[in-house]
């Protein structure tokens, strides 16, 4: 696992924890204003988690290349 994938997985774990905590709090309240605002946030977090999964899979499958790889250093260009 490369460094970027590891970082993205750590970010995903933090977002998942936030999602789970917020979802739990919303299910335990009867405050309608909190529910209205909170479910919008939960939906946004859910979408972000899905997109992060896609990004992690793409990185793991080599969809993106290192923009610096294969290029010389500044010293090589002089």
pLDDT value, residue 65: 72
DSSP 18-54: HHHHHHHHHHT---HHHHHHHHHHHHHHHHHHHHHHH
- The per-residue b/e assignment along 54-64, b for 16 or more CB within 10 angstroms, e otherwise, is ebbeebeeeee
- C-alpha count within 13 angstroms, C-beta hemisphere, residue 74: 0
Q: How far apart are the first and last CA of the chain?
A: 35
Say if residue 10's pLDDT is above 80: yes
Among candidate residues 48, 52, 42, 2, the one with its CA nearest the CA of residue 22: 42
pLDDT value, residue 1: 54
pLDDT value, residue 34: 86
- 24-78 pLDDT, tens digit per residue, is 988 899 999 888 888 888 889 999 999 999 999 999 988 887 665 555 555 544 4
């Amino acid at each position: 696992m490369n460094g970027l994938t590891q970082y993205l997985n750590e970010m995903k774990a933090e977002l998942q924890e936030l999602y789970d905590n917020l979802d739990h709090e919303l299910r335990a309240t009867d405050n309608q204003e909190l529910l209205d605002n909170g479910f919008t946030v939960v939906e946004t977090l859910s979408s972000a988690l899905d997109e992060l999964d896609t990004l992690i899979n793409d990185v793991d499958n080599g969809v993106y290349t290192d923009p610096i790889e294969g290029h010389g250093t500044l010293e090589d260009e002089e």
